[in-house]
Structure 1
Amino acid sequence: MSDEPEPSNSVSGFEEKFPTKQTIYFGLSKFGWVMAAGVGGFKVYFYQIKLGLGWEYISLAFMIFAIWNAINDPLFGIMSDRTQHKLGRRIPYMRYGAPFLAISFIMLYASFIPGTNQIGLFLYLLLTLFLYDTFFTLVVIVNISLLGELALTAKNRTKISFISGVISGIGSAIAAIVPPMLLYNDQPLQRPIDPFQIFVIITGIICFLTLFIMSYYLKEKLMFSRDEPLGFFDSIKYTLKSRAFIILEVIIFIGVFLSTFVGTGVAYYIDYVLDLKGFNASIPIIIYMLGNLLGSFVFAVLAGKYGMRKSLMFSIPLLSGGLLLAFFPTNLWEVILPILLIGFAISAFLIYLDPFIVDIADQDELRTGTRREASFFGVNALITKPAESVAVWALTGMLVAVFAFVEPVIVDGSAIPQPQPANALFGIRFLMSVVPALVLVLLLIAVYFYPLDGPKYREMKLKVRKLHKEKEKRFLEGVAEGEVLDQET
């Protein structure tokens, strides 16, 4: 019987079995760190409004942090790809990095340094950002790199991304809904420990447990551990030689900038423009999550039929329209439609991002013979992670310097939020709608030029499938000759 796949009308050119159990385990492994990352969307608001750290210090901390934030990702990605361990290239880092990730996450929000000590608070933010991102990068890069081993076709990868996203999305929803109820209250932090900080501790524990436990259920394809690893500089060279990867980096840089810019600004938008407190402050987030869930399902289906590139291009005008509509609301009822549309449209970027990078790893494997998802995820971060710091610097700087946002007043070491003038309220609305809508034009242009699509894409997938069959055959022959197999392939 021939190993060649049967012809198919699918985007990838053939059909493959869907890995249901591993997809569920994959989603559960992401649950905790996605929840922690969701809480991270409130860290700028927490340090500025609740701890009273000035925007100049926040911007400086994130700009310094951007250097390490960019460097550590390719280092850890290439290190993972070069690892030869009986558990594989990914599982050891997930399992043994999980407790350090949880502890550093809790530390990030555990500062009791008074707002009067701006230098001390700045140094604490900088130190804990470095620690948290180090372990976050180490664990998350290896975790998301497993996607390339679970499936080969774009249809199955986007389906895995959707299903695992629904599972981990529950954690994301909790992280988006609970903090506003605990933070948006015009009150200083409670001492000795604030309810928000208790929530952070619970999140850290969940992050540890989901990663650690699922590391015993997720299975790597150990045949890829037998690939001859590239040297550090060769790995960087081959990664940057990919035209598709360079264009994708432009796409992701713009996407990361926008998601950080809007994700950070939404706290100010809900608290000051919509003036929502308590549970009401969580309602826009719930609406966003519902739109996101619906959009994830729709765009997962569209990717299987039309491909990820065309589907992503379709989502961008929808997202731009939702953002522009968000300029006008001043209360909860008026914001429902814009938020629903934004959540629906942005889901395409969220579920396609990882499969895009894994597709490029497929193309690279044909050139180098080595499977290197983690290297691509790492170098991706080297180029795009600075977008997070630039977004925080741009948002906080423009709010205060251009639109006269009034920062909290420090009284007896506690930060007391202040009423905002009309200019500041206009600025928040403008920065949350018009600015990102204009930036989306650049994103649309970049996606248009992305090359992995159409007949050549299908041909590439068929070649990769054949290569994997050859690797599997060589691996099993090696096992039959006496190698010890510690884990299922």
Structure 2
Amino acid sequence: MSTRKHDLSNTVPLKTKIWLSSADGIVATLAGLITGGGLTYYFTKWMGLKASYVSIAWLIFGIWNAVNDPLFGYLSDRTKSNLGRRIPYIRYGAPLYALAFIISWIAFPWVGNQWAMFFQMLISLFLFDALYTAIATSLYVMPYEITVDNQARGSIFIWKVFFSIISLGAPLILMPLIQPEPGESATTFRLIMTCIGIVAGIYVYVSTFFYQENNYVKEEAQPPMLKAIVDCFKNRPFLIFEIISFTVIYIQTALMQGVLYYFAEFNIPMTYCYGALLIGAILGLLFWIRHQEQLGVNRCIFLMCLIFSCGCLLMAFFGNYLLIACIGFFATGIGFSGGMYLVPLMNGDVIDYDELHTGLRREGIYAGVNSFITKPAISLAQSAFLTIITALGYIQNAKQGTQSPAAKSGLLIGWMLIPAILLFICSICMMAYPLKGDDWKGKKEQLKKSHAKKEALYTSNNNLNSKNE
């Protein structure tokens, strides 16, 4: 169990990094199994729910999914508990989250009734996502609660990158191996899902005993929800951060969607491209870790956006050549590593800046508003890609490899040109980003000292009150 001293040390215990990051990864893994196509497959292929009903369920859920992030972020900021503001949601939400995951796969007696199955799926999505948002938001902001120092935060994000890769890959590997075919018994599938849910719930619950947050912040008086949201948009660095964050989510969605079309239509060896992607990601991450303290987060993100943009631009017009494809995927690896490591550091700086101006720690509402703004990027990326390639002659039901040269060129443009433009815009925006240089480092150092003093004073007063009682 962590017992953090109220000093100015930049060191975060290794066990704290691992337990926090792995718990975050496990929570994301369960979400990937539900929202990554697993629940849709189960209800349509095995239970027999019509695709039209599933589409309506996802559409209704999408509205709730957008609204609940600011709501839970706001509630988290206002929580007053002996455990803190975030840990109660993680610790006591974990068993409920696991239960919601397990219930989602139960075949109730009404299997065969379309409306009953529709409401079962819809309620499962609402319940599961509400608990996911409460827990995931709290885990997301914990590095900002634990320390102000970017080097210390970065040491946590390195582990988060590692466990994020596992959480992304696990559903893709596991679901094809265990999902039941139509007509088959789903008993084994449900048993595996139940075991996964139980283990995940226990693990996340236990993890909360290995990290802690500052106690003094729960005594702060938070503003009403509307004012809390408005204050976020008064934060100029936050607006610049949102441009970066929106672009990263858009590009992640667009590139993952378009890559399936790319390898289907172009005679480009997948092994070389993915090898270049992996090398770029590893070298990029090592470079950002080594130089972010020296160059600053602002310069690193500027550099990341510029390299990533050039790679996408080359792919948009010359992606049919193997050498260019390898260069493009290498640049994409550099960009992805920066998105996973640098962007969270930028988010932390934005929250620190807010505290300097408001005197409050408001990580929850910032995480919620960020999700509210960036989630539409997922739908927009998918829609824009399909619209552009169709307008430029791509035929969806044509056999693989039979598209016209014009359609293939349109595929590259629809896939890579918008990301190139957005990234270039981001690089320009970073020139106006004010949180940089020695002046900003000095302000963060003052903030770190202020946190230590406030926490020490809170502990002293709390101990004194305990003795008086």
TM-score band w.r.t. shorter chain = 0.7 to 0.9
In the alignment, the residues of structure 2 paired with residue 433 and residue 338 of structure 1 have an alpha-carbon distance, to the nearest angstrom, of 10
CA contact (8 A) 1:323 1:437 kept: yes
Percent identity (aligned): 28
The corresponding residue for 2:245 is 252
Matched, 1:354 2:350: no
The corresponding residue for 1:364 is 354
In the alignment, the residues of structure 2 paired with residue 432 and residue 333 of structure 1 have an alpha-carbon distance, to the nearest angstrom, of 18
CA contact (8 A) 1:162 1:297 kept: no
Paired residue type of 1:320: S
The corresponding residue for 1:316 is 305
Secondary structure of residue in 2 paired with 1:385: helix
My pick for the range that moved more, 17-26 or 80-89, is 17-26
Unpaired runs of at least 5, structure 2: 1-6
Matched, 1:143 2:134: no
CA contact (8 A) 2:215 2:455 kept: no
Show the 5 A alignment for 1:263-282.
263-270=256-263, 272-273=264-265
The corresponding residue for 2:4 is none
Q: By how many angstroms is 1:241 displaced?
A: 1.7
CA contact (8 A) 1:144 1:354 kept: no
The corresponding residue for 1:410 is none
2:396 is aligned, of 373, 398, 405, to: 405
The corresponding residue for 1:67 is 63
Q: By how many angstroms is 1:307 displaced?
A: 0.8
Q: By how many angstroms is 1:200 displaced?
A: 7.2
CA contact (8 A) 1:54 1:118 kept: yes
The corresponding residue for 1:422 is 403
TM-score, L = length of structure 1: 0.75
Instruction: Name the CA shift for 1:325/1:130 in 2 (closer, same or farther; >3 Å).
Output: farther
1:480 is aligned, of 460, 463, 467, to: 463
Deviations, residues 58-101 of structure 1 (Å, cap 9, x unaligned)? 98776654432322111101101111112221112112323444
The corresponding residue for 1:412 is none
2:160 is aligned, of 154, 161, 164, to: 164
The corresponding residue for 1:457 is 440
In the alignment, the residues of structure 1 paired with residue 239 and residue 267 of structure 2 have an alpha-carbon distance, to the nearest angstrom, of 42
Paired residue type of 1:374: G
2:421 is aligned, of 429, 432, 438, to: 438
Q: By how many angstroms is 1:53 displaced?
A: 11
CA contact (8 A) 1:318 1:345 kept: yes
Q: By how many angstroms is 1:256 displaced?
A: 1.6
Instruction: Name the CA shift for 1:292/1:99 in 2 (closer, same or farther; >3 Å).
Output: farther
CA contact (8 A) 1:255 1:443 kept: no
Q: By how many angstroms is 1:383 displaced?
A: 2.0
The corresponding residue for 1:8 is none
Q: By how many angstroms is 1:16 displaced?
A: 2.7
The corresponding residue for 1:411 is none
Instruction: Name the CA shift for 1:41/1:456 in 2 (closer, same or farther; >3 Å).
Output: farther
CA contact (8 A) 1:81 1:89 kept: yes
In the alignment, the residues of structure 1 paired with residue 105 and residue 273 of structure 2 have an alpha-carbon distance, to the nearest angstrom, of 24
Instruction: Name the CA shift for 1:342/1:62 in 2 (closer, same or farther; >3 Å).
Output: farther
Unpaired runs of at least 5, structure 1: 6-13, 408-417, 485-489
CA contact (8 A) 1:292 1:344 kept: yes
Show the 5 A alignment for 1:47-66.
65-66=61-62
The corresponding residue for 1:487 is none
CA contact (8 A) 1:296 1:351 kept: yes
In the alignment, the residues of structure 2 paired with residue 197 and residue 275 of structure 1 have an alpha-carbon distance, to the nearest angstrom, of 40
The corresponding residue for 1:226 is 219
Q: Which has a greater percent of helix?
A: 2
1:380 is aligned, of 370, 382, 393, to: 370
In the alignment, the residues of structure 2 paired with residue 399 and residue 377 of structure 1 have an alpha-carbon distance, to the nearest angstrom, of 34
Q: By how many angstroms is 1:118 displaced?
A: 11
Deviations, residues 393-441 of structure 1 (Å, cap 9, x unaligned)? 334555667633129xxxxxxxxxx757515765544433233223222
Q: By how many angstroms is 1:144 displaced?
A: 1.2
In the alignment, the residues of structure 2 paired with residue 232 and residue 33 of structure 1 have an alpha-carbon distance, to the nearest angstrom, of 27
Deviations, residues 32-63 of structure 1 (Å, cap 9, x unaligned)? 1343466678539977xx96999999987766
In the alignment, the residues of structure 1 paired with residue 306 and residue 148 of structure 2 have an alpha-carbon distance, to the nearest angstrom, of 29
CA contact (8 A) 1:287 1:336 kept: yes
Instruction: Name the CA shift for 1:150/1:66 in 2 (closer, same or farther; >3 Å).
Output: same
Instruction: Name the CA shift for 1:448/1:125 in 2 (closer, same or farther; >3 Å).
Output: farther
In the alignment, the residues of structure 2 paired with residue 268 and residue 195 of structure 1 have an alpha-carbon distance, to the nearest angstrom, of 34
1:466 is aligned, of 446, 449, 454, to: 449
Paired residue type of 2:222: P
The corresponding residue for 2:204 is 211
My pick for the range that moved more, 398-407 or 353-362, is 398-407
CA contact (8 A) 2:265 2:400 kept: no
CA contact (8 A) 2:272 2:326 kept: no
Matched, 1:26 2:26: no
Matched, 1:301 2:301: no
Aligned residues: 451
2:130 is aligned, of 134, 138, 161, to: 134
My pick for the range that moved more, 459-468 or 30-39, is 30-39
Paired residue type of 1:422: Q
Instruction: Name the CA shift for 1:205/1:172 in 2 (closer, same or farther; >3 Å).
Output: farther
Paired residue type of 1:464: L
CA contact (8 A) 1:257 1:387 kept: yes
The corresponding residue for 1:392 is 382
2:148 is aligned, of 152, 156, 159, to: 152
Q: By how many angstroms is 1:291 displaced?
A: 3.6
Q: By how many angstroms is 1:457 displaced?
A: 1.3
Secondary structure of residue in 2 paired with 1:230: coil
Q: By how many angstroms is 1:269 displaced?
A: 4.0
Deviations, residues 89-138 of structure 1 (Å, cap 9, x unaligned)? 111211232344456567889999xxxx9999998876655444333221
In the alignment, the residues of structure 1 paired with residue 391 and residue 127 of structure 2 have an alpha-carbon distance, to the nearest angstrom, of 30
Instruction: Name the CA shift for 1:300/1:404 in 2 (closer, same or farther; >3 Å).
Output: same
